[in-house]
Structure 1
Amino acid sequence: MRLGQTSVIHFASRFSASVLGFVATVFIGRILGSDGLGIYYLVLSMIAWSGIITKMGVPSAITKRVSEEQTQSEYATAGVSLSTVLFVIVAIFVLVFQESVNSYIGYPAAEFVVLLLFVNLIQSLVNAVLRGQQLVHLSGIFIPIRTGTRSVVQIAALLAGLGIVGLFVGYMIGYALVSVLGLWIAVRSFDRIALPRPSHFQSIIAYAKFSWIGALRSRAFNWVDVSILGFFVSSSLIGIYTAAWNIAVFLILFGGSLSQTLFPEMSSMSANDDRKAVADLFETALAFAGLILIPGLVGGTLLGEQLLQVYGEEFSQGAVVLSILIVATLIQGYQRQFTNTLNALDRPDLSFRINAVFIVGNVILNLSVIPSFGVVGAAVATTTSVAVSLGVAYATLSSLIEFSIPAGEIIKQWVAAAVMGLVVYSGLWFESTYSLFDVNIVVVFVLVGLGAGVYFAMLFGLSGRFRQTIIDNLPPQVRRISI
């Protein structure tokens, strides 16, 4: 029950953050157009790639070692020290080659890249410590605070006429705020504060040398296509692609909350050599990984044009891309649970191989198809590569622990989503025939809300496991009434 509540809190926090981020992105798209949005996301893609070098798997190593509940502060300090050195190296490199950086982005943003990279790194390290301390719910709560602050400042800056610079300022303020708050909580949560010994550095490096590719894999999933598109298509098309991508990744939030919540528990069980308990938690993760993604795929396919029109009329041409990207996030939602479990079993070397398969495949496929098929090719390349990596992940984990795929639960989710799709399609036809609403965003909210209600009502009736999970995680007073 505690894990369920923690997952819900973390998901609700990330969901709120995504809503705030969505609103901010709509403002950016409407005020700066797809070209301005494309420039902003090219900068963020540089932050993502540069961040891999500054972190090199250190945040994951910090979470793992701190979760083992021994000499926590020493491991945290060792990890922060290593990442600080890496940041200085990357910052110098960016500033030395700033002309090339500015030419790629199409905007003089090299100095901002360094500043944004710094606040991003600090926030990642603080979150890693909090997750290791099993304070996942707190790290989750910081997400809407960060995104809300960033979004408010960015929108205010846009309205004040600061343009793209205002976007960078809002980003820095949002990340800096939660970094300070998180650091204060993390330090207070340590039993004691002590300087690390060489063994702590060695232990962090031993784990990070394999886990860094997990961060690279995450960046590849989110940014390889955008980065390569920057060489072949206009900023406007990149803006349309990233608008579709923002909607698609919105649906993967719950799966991410599951993996972050379960990792410390799995890690602790693995340290006690309780692999049966790890397998049970993994099966639970699989049962709920598609809870939001499956209806999201159905709804996103039906309402793709309407969803993208919220950003502006020019964005609606990305509807096909949106459907393909949602398929990619659905597959990724399951694949993440496999690699998360491998890391919890202290086998980052195996996750390394799985992630390497995805990264190499994703880069090769994107480079092969983007020149001919543009943004649609980028979406197909990402989907194909993540599907291949899921197959490799299944084969790898099944060789370590015994588990079963909760096919019954997944089928029930698809059945509920199919019923939802019929209702949404009927509503869409009815609205287009009789023109009940003149404003597109009203149509989106009504049909999305209707679809969500139908889906969860159907699933509540079909799935005893889902129904019991909901009841178990209700407040005690409500639970007694429901029983």
Structure 2
Amino acid sequence: MRDIQWSFISLATASLSHLLLRVVLGRELGPDGLGIYTLVFTIYMFGMQFAAFGIGAALTKYVAEFSDDLKKTGEYISSGIIGSIVTGILIGVILFTLSGIISINVFNIPEMRYLLEITALCFPFIAIQKTVIGSLNGFRKMKQFAFMNIALNSSILLVSIFMVMYLKMNVIGAVLGFALPTILIGFLSIIFVRSYLMFPNISFLKNDILRDVLHFGFYVVLGNSIGYIYTHIDNVMIGYYLNETEVGYYAISAIFIQGITLIPSAVQRVTSPIIAKSYAKKEYNSILRLLKSVTLKVFLVSLLLSLFLAIFGRTLIITIFEDVFLSAYLPMLILLIGYTVYSSFMSIGTFYASIGHVRLSYKIALFSAILSIALNAFFIPKYGIIGAAVATSASLILLTSLHYVIIKHLLKNYNLEL
């Protein structure tokens, strides 16, 4: 519970910072500017999946398993840092090169180009930060984990507000607002794992640890990146089929949905290393008890939050963002249904990777992404952002059902019944 508290504080700070920042950007930039920022930030978050290459998730698993062996954990963390620098630079170069094609040919918004070029500079540093975060998560050093996330999100909020409100730099100020803190915090994050770092000599580079981290990370990044497409493809496809103004309206709906995902995301940070360690010790009954307890409680809490937002959502939108954004209310109601159902699985979302079935994660994510793209392609041209919300909610409900069928099947291998 103490670990969950720190994880929750970390994610609550991120969610609150994100909410306050969107309030400022919505008021200062209007629906158009907020829409452009949302598209750039969505691409940034998607590129982050590849930049970090799943190394952080790999280290959470391996550090948790070998936490009693300092030499072994040091080798894993050092390998992860090396790998993250390489992959982060590679993805940054790719985005920088493709920025013109994405901004002009895909979204027909030429001013996005220099915003994406700025964003590309972040990737090596966010990759390092994700690696350190994964290591701290594996050790269950949740205070340090929380401190790093709080520092990053707070600095993004303050720098963004300063550049947008006081320097009047508009959208470019908002992008610099997340780029500069990301670079600084990513660079400084190495301090938290400096005592575990080893100099990469010849024997170190010849061992299989770096290969294991990258192999595990490869399937994690496939699953995470496809999963990110699955949960954010609605924003991208709204920008493709409609315009940045509609993206801005839909972004307001997504802000309130973060309240539903906050608690399950916090819980997942703790269940991941616990399941990995219990699995390594063959304590399968402990895993089953954890699954039953966590999923039920998270679902009930999410349901209560959804009811609150359904009742007071219209008032909140008008009070916080003014009535110009009231078009976001109906999409929010529809999204609440899907995310309330999906929240129970989110709390144990790394279950497959924690028990060694990392390839299964990306296979399910791939199916989910294809389903979501198909539904959004069908509904958005006909029904606009309402159609995007319907497509997302429907796919989330179907995905949650599929996950529990698969988990139940996997547990039967250990003579356990969910």
Say yes or no: TM over 0.5. Answer: yes
CA distance in 2, matches of 1:201, 1:191: 14
CA distance in 1, matches of 2:15, 2:347: 21
Q: Does structure 1 conserve the Cα–Cα contact (< 8 Å) formed by 2:76 and 2:209?
A: yes
C-alpha deviation, 1:221, in angstroms:
4.2
Q: Which residue is 2:60 aligned to?
A: 63
CA distance in 2, matches of 1:353, 1:397: 14
Q: Which residue is 1:400 aligned to?
A: 410
Q: Does structure 1 conserve the Cα–Cα contact (< 8 Å) formed by 2:35 and 2:248?
A: yes
Q: Which residue is 1:409 aligned to?
A: none
The residue type paired with residue 100 of structure 1 is I
**CA 196–296 in structure 1, closer or farther in 2 if over 3 Å, else same:** farther
Q: Does structure 1 conserve the Cα–Cα contact (< 8 Å) formed by 2:51 and 2:84?
A: yes
Q: CA RMSD in A?
A: 2.2
Higher radius of gyration, 1 or 2: 1
CA distance in 2, matches of 1:63, 1:15: 21
1:12 and 2:9 matched: yes
Q: Give the SS at the match of 1:290.
A: helix
Q: Which residue is 1:286 aligned to?
A: 295
1:167 and 2:164 matched: no
Q: Which has the higher contact order (CA 8 A, sep 6+)?
A: 2
C-alpha deviation, 1:138, in angstroms:
2.3
Q: Mapping of 1:157-236 within 5 angstroms?
A: 157-159=163-165, 160-188=167-195, 190=196, 195-236=204-245
| Residue 284 of structure 2, aligned match among 275, 278, 286 | 275
Q: Which residue is 1:379 aligned to?
A: 389
| TM-score w.r.t. length of structure 2 | 0.89
Which moved further from structure 2: 370-379 or 69-78?
69-78
C-alpha deviation, 1:349, in angstroms:
2.2
The residue type paired with residue 101 of structure 2 is S
**Deviation by residue 1:32-75 (Cα, 9 ceiling, x = unmatched):** 10111111111111112222332332221122112211511222
The residue type paired with residue 191 of structure 2 is W
CA distance in 2, matches of 1:343, 1:28: 37
CA distance in 2, matches of 1:26, 1:352: 34
Q: Which residue is 1:126 aligned to?
A: 132
1:53 and 2:40 matched: no
Q: Mapping of 1:37-52 within 5 angstroms?
A: 37-52=34-49
| Residue 342 of structure 2, aligned match among 326, 329, 332 | 332
Please list every run of 5 or more consecutive structure 2 residues that lacks an aligned counterpart in the other structure.
none
CA distance in 2, matches of 1:73, 1:228: 43
| TM-score w.r.t. length of structure 1 | 0.78
**Deviation by residue 1:181-211 (Cα, 9 ceiling, x = unmatched):** 53212223x3977645431122123322322
**CA 110–400 in structure 1, closer or farther in 2 if over 3 Å, else same:** closer
Aligned residues between the structures: 401
CA distance in 2, matches of 1:324, 1:121: 34
CA distance in 2, matches of 1:110, 1:211: 25
Q: Which residue is 2:97 aligned to?
A: 96
Give identity over the alignment, percent. Answer: 18
| Residue 244 of structure 1, aligned match among 247, 253, 257 | 253
The residue type paired with residue 180 of structure 2 is I
Q: Give the SS at the match of 1:161.
A: coil
**CA 312–119 in structure 1, closer or farther in 2 if over 3 Å, else same:** farther
CA distance in 1, matches of 2:362, 2:409: 16
C-alpha deviation, 1:238, in angstroms:
0.4
